Structure 1
Amino acid sequence: MSVARTDQRNRRAGGAGRIVLRAVQIVLLPAALIAVWWVASLASTVYYLPTPGEIATTFAEVWGAERVADDVLPSIARLLGGFALGTLLGVGLGIVLGLSPRTRAVLEPVLEFFRAIPPPVLVPLLMLFVGVNTTMKLAVIVSGCIWPILLNTIEGVRAVDPVLIDTCRCYGVRGRRWLTTLVLRSASPQIMAGMRQGLSIAIILMVISEMFASSSGLGHTIIQFQRTFAIPEMWSGIVLLGLLGFVLSVVFAAIERQVLSWYNGVRAAARGE
C-alpha cells in the first residue's frame, strides 16, 4: 500500500515538474525575443522599428474600450462566424465524400481546381457579386478555411476501421446513431486537426478581407495606420493580432482536449501510462 502511495506521489511530483518546466519554456522564448528586439531597435536609427516599450505605451493608448468595440469585436465576430460556417460545410461535405467513393471520384477534379485558387484572389470577384459587406468577408474566410477541414474529414471517414463497421452492422447500429457513434467519433482526431489548420487560415483571411474597402476591423485599422505613417500604432495592431491568435489557439487546444479525451486516453493506455 505504501509503495502505491509513493508511486502516486512521484507521479504527481513529476507532473508538477513538467508543468513548471513547460511554463518556464513558454515564458523564456517570448522574453528572449523581446530582449533581442529591444536591443536591435535601440541600436537602429530606422523609423519603422520602434522599441517594445514604445509599442506597449502606444498599445495602451490606442486600444481602449471604444476602439475594441468598433474594430476588435467585429473582427472576432467575422472570424468565428466564417470559421463556424467553414467547419459545418467542410465536415458535412467531407462525410458525404468520405462515405461515397463514386461521388468523391466525380467531384474531386472540381474540388482540386477550386482548392488551387488562392482565397485572396477571390476578394475582388466577391466584391463585385456580393458587395462590400459582412457577407463578402465571411465568404472570403470560408473559401480558405474550409479546405483543410474538408480534406481531413474525408481522410478521417475513409480511415474508419472496417472491423468496427462490421461490428456495428452485426449489432444493428445504423442511420444517425451509426454516423455519430462510429463515423464522426473515429474521424474526430483528423477533423480537429483540420479545424486547427482552418482556424489559422481564417485569422489570415479575416485580416485580408478587412483590408479591402472596409470601414472597420483590425485589418482596416492596421492598413490605415500604415498609410498615415503611424508606425507605433501599426505595430500595436500587429501585436494585438498575435495576442488574438495566441488566445484562440489556447482556447481551441482546451476544446480539443475535451473533445478528444477518449482518444488521448486510448493513446495513453497504449503507451502504458
Structure 2
Amino acid sequence: MGALLPLRLGFAQPAPLKAPLTLAEVNRMDEAAFVAAFGDTYELSPWVAKVAFAMRPFSTVTALHQALADAFRAAPREQQLAFFRKLSDIGDRTVKAENVTAASKREQAVSGVDTLSEADHDRLKKLNKAYRDKFDMSFTIANRRNTQDTIFTQFERRLGNDLAAELATAIQEEFFITRLRIAEQVAGEGVPRVYGDLTVHALNSVVGQPANGMAVELLEMSGEKGRKVAQATSNVDGRADVLVGRPLPIGRYELRFAVADYFRKQGTVLGNPPFLDVVPVRLYLDNSEGSYHVPMVCSPWSYAVYR
C-alpha cells in the first residue's frame, strides 16, 4: 500500500440530517410520497422504492430496508448492472451535481476520498479506469465502513474477481450503504444496528483502582505510519469512549495509552526517562458495527492488555 492518505484530525462526521421520519409516517405514505422519500436510497433509482412500496406495511425499520434490498436483488441481472454502470466513480471530482445524491457526497466527504493528495487521487483514477475496463461499472464500497487504506486494499483485491463475484460483492456493499442511510432517515421499532463502538478501561494496578485521567489516542495505521483520528481521557471509572455513535471503519489501528504522564500526575516518582512512557497497542477492527472493549492494567513498570 502507498502512503497514508491525508485527513484532518479525527474521523469526519456527516453533517446533521433533518429530523428522521417515523415508521408510522412511512406506513401512511402513498406511493408518490414513498418514492419521493426513498427514491434515492439506491442512488438515483426510484424504481427500487416503487417495488418496495408494494411490501407495506413495514413492522420494523429493518423490514423497510430489507424490502428495498429485496427489490434490488430481485431485479434482472441487466438492470442491476445498469445501476452500477451509471454510478459515478469513487473520488471523481468532475461528476456533475445532478449525477450524485447528497447522501453520496456526504459519505465520500466522511471517508476523505474527496480530499486525497494528488498522488493518491491519481492512483485512485487509475484503479477506477482499470475497474471500468474490466467490469464496465463503477466500483462500489461502503465508504463509512472502511478506512481509506482498506478502500484501496479492497479495490486492488476485487480487481481479481470475475464479473459474477464482483456483482455479488457490489450488491452486498449497496446493502451496507443503504442500511446506514435508512437507519439514519427513519426512527421506530427495529432500527438496524449500523454503529459500532471502541471503548477502553484503564486500571491502576499499584493501588487497585480505576485510572482516572489517563489520556488515550487512536491512530489509523498504514504500514508503520499512523494518523491520529481520535482521542479521549478516562473518567473516574477508568473508562473512555474512543469511537462511538458511528460505524467503525474497518482497518488497522494503534491505541496509545499515556501511562507515564498519568502516573506523573498521580505524584509517582518515575525514572528519567520513565521505564514505560506511552504504551502502544496494535489492533485490527474487522466489524464496523461491533463493540470493542480494551481493558489495560498498568503500573509504571508493567502492563497487560486484553479484550
Task: Give your verdict on TM over 0.5.
Answer: no
**Whose helix proportion is higher, 1 or 2?**
1
| Larger relative contact order (Cα-Cα within 8 Å, sequence gap ≥ 6) | 1
- Normalised by the length of structure 2, the TM-score is 0.24
